[in-house]
Structure 1
């Protein structure tokens, strides 16, 4: 059910032709756009999904999660549970604190976690991921600089905000926000990954759908008010979305306009939450507008450049360069010949980074790919069947969601041929990720070239079956 009113663009002062050009430019650009929604004066004036993606599907938001964590901290401060200048070490006991607390660690405050000025020389998240005791690891790391002096993007700092909130309230961040934010906004589909020590990850891992994220954008525009109720103190969002610290040490122009409390400042007096591979809630306070985008790209600046070239002039009432808009927005299944028939042999693989354990290619041109577990916490193998033709829905295969073991992720797949090779393309449509597996067999051995469209690490892996 829609939670935001819909309106024709021209009723909200926007040109339909200009918005069509904006959509056309996004579609023609290199970044793969999956969904988008534009709000103006509290109304949805543009909503699109590139098939097979859907607006109603939850989508993994990566670091957009941080802006929700900021919201939770603002609520906790308003409730008197903590203050911005509280020392981080004050929330923890000897079980996790280092034997010797350095002056810089002692000086680290909640505000430094919020503004990414903890004093660490690099993001701490990699160090945290090596050990299940993530809080203890963070507190034991060397703090090289005086907190508050240098901006260094630090997802581990956001994790610590979640850990502090859980210590204070006795409940996970996701549960703390559920009745205070998610349920009032109608974001009942919200799920959030937890760490191995049982703490909501905070800096990443939140999944909600496009309209829920748009509701959050409208909440920001309304300074925390929703349906006549002040869900979040207006003063918090004013502070959180303002420039609290400089971040001139960043490279891209829209990442060096200042940082607030887990919100980025942008050009043209905008602010945003953003996440890896092109997830955005971008707020235009001067134009009473907000844009939500989910996508898959390694070039996040390219999306913002398209926004400044096409959407910003539309909001200003200016002419926009004409770009044809496709009649149907879609990310088509791979074209080409159907795969040749297989012989039904099951090829098995040793442990590998792709989690692929077995492949069977059958005489009908389909393939069955077995994965050991596509997510942390998955306990049983998952079979994904890939057939020639258009995207096939696989939402019943049992790809587990970590936050809710009873639910499944939506997956689509298609098979094609590359010469004699069988090519399986698998889209995990509640994420940006697309996996392409090119399988070749020779002398009883299968070689699989695995390509992932975007990744925090290598995007290519070659796997050879066991003899």
Structure 2
């Protein structure tokens, strides 16, 4: 079935009854009720949550970027680009935490298409000469290593050391460090490490020579008709000088220490629809289709992780989703679920992560019905 692309914001998304899109309305309503009834356990005061050690204890938890109170739970479900369900305020702007990582992946794909990154398997230092890849530990790191969280980059960036996230236990959200460990050679160990993702973001800023929010607006959110209500903030410590003499903030791939992408569910769904259509929007290729082929393949060291997207080919990430599904996932209960085989793009904001698979199971039951 062909994809329907929504008109630019503020026009409402095209809507249809669930039945018109091949969905059982009652079962879809059960999915919506399930999501609405399972709010994230995180408090509304995000600054207080992180400041009290929500991710790690002092002094490593020092907040460097802006933090706002989170919004109430909301979300939406689309099929083939048509809205079939929504709940809450889908135009409420909140920070997204690591959903931003998947947006960095798109920007990396654009940099490759523009020739700014000639080969993702070549060392980053061949394109970025700022001292960050000079050491023996860091010199072999490639763009692929950064994109798959296998870089083992060592250092301190914008006041945060990579060791803060080294050995972190992701089994329980926000649990903090399980224990320190020795570094491995680049490409031999997978670790979810926000400092290293921020090193990727700074490297992309270097090759574009422009603030990444400008590039994201021009190349992605503008062409898909998103609102102007989003923002992507850096840290007070992340200002750098560009070749043209301008000062710009390098932006993080999340909200671990504040900042990051603040956006509403409808704009997130537009990005998800672009990903569903492998980077094309209304006949225009914004991100290379081949980049999504690469991005949604599991890396060799983690079968649930691609190029800063969560993937489901093993069925171990969110078991109720189809095996071709992939996700932009952020702490606190933020998820964009993209499923090519069913045409589903769904956005969940501030939903208890423990309830997400149940939501997906109910939506897929509605398709089966």
Deviation at 1:66, TM superposition (A): 0.5
Is the 1:120–1:152 Cα contact (8 Å) retained in structure 2? no
Q: Distance in 1 between matches of 2:77 and 2:202?
A: 34
1:382-426: CA deviation from partner (whole Å, max 9, x where unpaired): xxxxxxxxxxxxxxxxxxxxxxxxxxxxxxxxxxxxxxxxxxxxx
Corresponding residue for residue 304 of structure 2: 258
Corresponding residue for residue 159 of structure 2: 130
Deviation at 1:208, TM superposition (A): 1.4
Is the 1:15–1:314 Cα contact (8 Å) retained in structure 2? yes
Is the 1:119–1:144 Cα contact (8 Å) retained in structure 2? yes
Corresponding residue for residue 203 of structure 1: 253
Is the 1:85–1:110 Cα contact (8 Å) retained in structure 2? yes
Is the 1:165–1:172 Cα contact (8 Å) retained in structure 2? no
The one of 85, 93, 96 equivalent to 2:121 is 85
Corresponding residue for residue 196 of structure 2: 157
Q: Distance in 1 between matches of 2:360 and 2:193?
A: 27
1:204-252: CA deviation from partner (whole Å, max 9, x where unpaired): 11111111101111111111111211111110012112212332xxxxx
In the TM superposition, 1:205-284 aligns within 5 A as: 205-247=260-302, 257-266=303-312, 267=315, 268-269=322-323, 270-284=325-339
- Hey, which of these two has a bigger chunk of strand by percent? 1
Answering whether residue 136 of structure 2 is matched by residue 107 of structure 1, we say: no
Deviation at 1:45, TM superposition (A): 0.6
Is the 1:118–1:143 Cα contact (8 Å) retained in structure 2? no
Deviation at 1:3, TM superposition (A): 5.5
In the TM superposition, 1:49-448 aligns within 5 A as: 49=88, 54-82=89-117, 83-93=119-129, 96-97=131-132, 101-102=135-136, 104-119=137-152, 128=157, 130=159, 144-187=183-226, 188-195=228-235, 196-198=237-239, 199-204=249-254, 205-247=260-302, 257-266=303-312, 267=315, 268-269=322-323, 270-295=325-350, 297=352, 300=353, 302-317=354-369
Is the 1:38–1:46 Cα contact (8 Å) retained in structure 2? yes
The verdict on how the C-alpha distance between 1:203 and 1:112 changes in structure 2, with shifts beyond 3 A counting, is: same
Deviation at 1:92, TM superposition (A): 4.2
Q: Distance in 1 between matches of 2:144 and 2:121?
A: 6
Rg (Cα) greater in structure: 1
Deviation at 1:30, TM superposition (A): 5.6
1:307-333: CA deviation from partner (whole Å, max 9, x where unpaired): 24312211222xxxxxxxxxxxxxxxx
Deviation at 1:189, TM superposition (A): 2.0
Is the 2:157–2:199 Cα contact (8 Å) retained in structure 1? no
Higher RCO, 1 vs 2 (CA within 8 Å, ≥6 residues apart): 2
Q: Distance in 2 between matches of 1:282 and 1:20?
A: 18
Q: Distance in 1 between matches of 2:116 and 2:39?
A: 46
Normalised to the residue count of structure 2, the TM-score between the two structures is 0.72
Corresponding residue for residue 24 of structure 2: 15
The verdict on how the C-alpha distance between 1:29 and 1:101 changes in structure 2, with shifts beyond 3 A counting, is: closer
Is the 2:268–2:347 Cα contact (8 Å) retained in structure 1? yes
Is the 1:174–1:200 Cα contact (8 Å) retained in structure 2? no
1:158-200: CA deviation from partner (whole Å, max 9, x where unpaired): 2122211221222111111111111112222221011222233
Normalised to the residue count of structure 1, the TM-score between the two structures is 0.57
Corresponding residue for residue 170 of structure 2: none
The verdict on how the C-alpha distance between 1:2 and 1:245 changes in structure 2, with shifts beyond 3 A counting, is: farther
**Displaced runs of 4+ in structure 1, greater than 4 A?**
none
SS of the equivalent of 1:262 reads coil
Is the 2:74–2:348 Cα contact (8 Å) retained in structure 1? yes
Is the 1:279–1:293 Cα contact (8 Å) retained in structure 2? yes
Is the 1:114–1:157 Cα contact (8 Å) retained in structure 2? no
Q: Distance in 1 between matches of 2:35 and 2:231?
A: 28
